[in-house]
Structure 1
Amino acid sequence: MSDALAVLLAARGVPDVGDVFARDWRFDLRDTPADPAQVALPADDQDDRLARRTGWRPRWTVTDPATAAGSWRAALQGGTPVAVVGDAYHLPWLPYHGREHMEHGFVVDGLGTDGTVHVVDPYENATEWGRAAPTATRVSLDTLAPALPGGRWAVLVPTGTTSTPRAPRAQIAANVAAVRRAADNGAYERFVDGHAPAGRAELENLTLQTWLLARDRSLHARWLADLPADAVDAGFVARFADIERGWRRAMESAYVALRRVRGGRRAPGAALDALRSVTAAEVELARAPGNGQE
């Protein structure tokens, strides 16, 4: 969904949509009894952060598929594209089509008089069924309707104010404090222990969660690397780059393990080893004295 919202922000002239999503480093878990645990990505307060940082807030609406087009047309006539949440299983341009149910965000930026919808989807990912690549396509509203059981969609509305962004060192210090709190509260232990059985359900969840974390850490690593040399400690940047690579290894290991389990074989231990290694590295970096942010 973050990618779809980034398209809407770019359409409103926000100059650096990457910075908006990349400044934070956290390890928050969803406040649910689900086990294994799920990371809060996108963050539960993402809409609030966007409002503070850009002056635009997503306004969410729920409309049934039968009346969605009319609601979207009104928004589009006002000059704003629409971010839509649908079920990837029913979205024909995705490799998940007919194979896997999951929430997926995309953008509607046009409606034809012939009952078609123009879709822009910035999503990119390698899947076991082929690669999902950024695309623009046109589909009929009838084709799209099964993907919209909840009809959840958003436009951006101006808030009128923005907050002065934290200086880089202050932002990094806040991030470090957030990760320390997560570690002290046992979030990392709960996440690792919940996936330790390494059965099919745990590995399916772990594959998705590590993909989210690898993507999130990759964005943050680029944000750190782009900061001026005097704004951040170089050693901290280098160690975080190692963490970003660690999450990619964890993601790849989880995916391989899941494929093996789906094929009736035993999960290799590499997936949990990679997970334990990268979570330990995150906690160590956050707790390390003299990491340049104190």
Structure 2
Amino acid sequence: MTEQQVQTPPTAARWDEIVAAVPADALDCLQTGVAVLADVVGGPGAHRGLGARLWFPAPDGTGYAEAADLTARLAQARDELGLISAPPEKVTDMAGLDDRDGPLYVVADAYDLPWLPYAGHEHMSHSFVLARAPEGWDLVDAYHNDTQWGPARPAVRFCTDDQVADLLANGPVLVTTLKSGAVPARPPAPSADGIDAYALAGRTSETAVEQLVLDVWLIERDRRLHLRWLDDHSPEKAEVWRSAGRVEAWQRLAARTYLALRRLRRGHPVGREVVDEVCHQLRMDAELTDTAEPTAIREVVLSAIGESLAIDPSTVATAPTLRDLPGFDSFRLVDALERVERALSAELPDDLGADDLGDVDGLVRLFTRATVRR
């Protein structure tokens, strides 16, 4: 086999480093194994590509929980990380593991995994990584969540052959490998076309509200992961997301939907207002993603200040603060702001502060918020 085909598993200490670098609180239980192997294959931080594309309901109104299955997560690994996988195969004994090379992406029923709080309580697909180690196996699970049965936390565990065999005896697991071999596709712009259909779907029965709770939980993690991706690719837009409190809004909504489910189980019906709020927050996210790119806004700001002061925009770009520019004063600032408003067809937001007006970065943040709210 070629060197590309065989992946040498990291040492136990290196596994700890990889797990510590993975944003476990922003991943679901199928993404965690993908994220760990992404950093093994692609190097530190390779997992961040998982946050490139926001989730919105499909045009038929399908919820997130219905869409986030194993097939979808392996497709996400291919399209956004360039990781290809063989079709997952069922494994029931050690022979099915021993003939495979490299760290393995494993999916099992959380009900049968003794290190998880779900063990013996709830059936759900859960991923982890198995890698050959001296005299046994490293079991790497980067999942992080608080449950009614206790917390799940990322950890690296050593297992003997007998312990892995006992795990397989509980039921078949799905096993595949993830290897570099595909060119990541440029994520398409998120589409909010399915929000209305999602709103119209009946979501008042206990089963439907349970799905709604899971949808919101997944969306909150999806937005948290997207914010990390923005930090790498568009810091100005990341700042807008933070100032708009998008992750916090979904955190609050996660608590609200969970409480609605508890009340429903006590006999109190769930009204339309909960679903309406979910759809409202989805539309808020859609507005943010439709906002003009901060790079384009920066060009408008530089041009407007340059025209107001009759200087080259490149001079504006290198100034530490606006006060350092020749001829700058409050009158020139007002003139420049009006020029930007006209160019972007956006009015200044009411919540501007001194930090927004001190330098070019502040004005870019200010007008990015303005284009969101227009």
TM-score range, shorter chain: 0.7 to 0.9
Structure 1 residues without counterparts, runs of 5 or longer: none
What residue in structure 1 maps to residue 15 of structure 2? Answer: none
Call closer, same or farther: CA 1:189–1:11 in 2, change over 3 Å.
same
Name the CA shift for 1:271/1:293 in 2 (closer, same or farther; >3 Å): farther
Structure of higher CA gyration radius: 2
- Which residue of structure 1 aligns with residue 257 of structure 2? 254
Partner of residue 188 from structure 1, selected from 191, 195, 198: 195
TM-superposition CA deviations, 1:158-215 (whole Å, max 9, x none): 42x635x86xxxx6xx43xx32xx32xxx11222332542x21112111211111111
SS in 2 for 1:63: strand
Please, which of 218, 240, 243 is the counterpart of residue 246 of structure 2?
A: 243
Distance in 2 (CA, whole Å) between partners of 1:58 and 1:47 is: 7
- Distance 1:117-1:234 versus aligned 2 partners, 3 A rule: closer
Aligned to 1:122: 142
User: RMSD of the alignment, in Å?
Assistant: 3.4
Query: Contact (CA 8 Å) 2:64, 2:218: kept in 1 or not?
Result: no
Q: Which residue of 1 aligns with 2:167?
A: 144
2:218 is aligned, of 212, 215, 218, to 212
Question: Following TM superposition, by how much is the alpha carbon of 1:284 offset from its aligned partner in structure 2, in angstroms?
Answer: 3.3
Cα offset, 1:220, TM superposition: 0.5
Distance 2:39 2:228 in 1: 19
Partner of 2:96: 71
Q: Post-superposition shift, 1:47?
A: 3.9
Which residue, out of 81, 86, 92, partners 1:59?
86
SS in 1 for 2:176: strand
* 1:3 matches 2:32: yes
Amino acid at match of 1:132: A
Secondary structure class of the residue paired with 2:47: helix
| Percent of residue pairs bearing the same amino acid type | 27
Answer yes or no: is the 8 Å Cα contact 1:27–1:39 preserved in 2: no
Match in the other structure for 1:155 = 177
CA apart distance, 1:274: 3.4
Query: Distance between the aligned counterparts of 2:238 and 2:139, measured in 1?
Result: 41
User: Does the CA-based 8 Å contact 1:120-1:136 persist in structure 2?
Assistant: yes
1:214–1:244: 8 Å Cα contact kept in structure 2?
A: yes
| Cα distance in 2 between the residues matched to 1:157 and 1:291 | 33
Note closer, same or farther for the CA distance 1:6–1:236 as it changes in structure 2 (3 Å cut).
Answer: same
**Higher-RCO chain (CA-CA 8 Å, sequence separation at least 6):** 1
Q: Is the 8 A contact 1:58 1:155 kept in 2?
A: yes
Report whether the alignment pairs 1:88 with 2:110. yes
Alignment CA distance shift 1:74-1:248 (3 Å): same
* Bigger mean CA offset, 267-276 vs 250-259: 267-276
Structure 1 letter corresponding to 2:249: G
CA contact (8 A) 1:125 1:131 kept: yes
Shift of 1:225: 3.2
Distance between the aligned counterparts of 1:283 and 1:264, measured in 2?
34
Q: Which of residues 118, 133, 136 is equivalent to 2:153?
A: 133
Cα distance in 2 for partners of 1:125, 1:259 equals: 19
**1:190 partner SS:** helix
- Which stretch of structure 1 is more off in the superposition, 133-142 or 49-58? 49-58
The residue type paired with residue 121 of structure 1 is D
Distance 1:243 1:227 in 2: 18
Aligned length: 264
Report the equivalent of 1:16.
45
Q: Does the Cα contact within 8 Å between 1:120 and 1:135 map onto a contact in 2?
A: yes
For residue 196 of structure 2, what is the amino acid of its counterpart? E
Query: What displacement does 1:273 show?
Result: 4.9
> TM-score, structure 2 length as denominator?
0.60
Letter in 2 for 1:253: R
Aligned equivalents of 1:284 and 1:16: distance in 2? Answer: 28
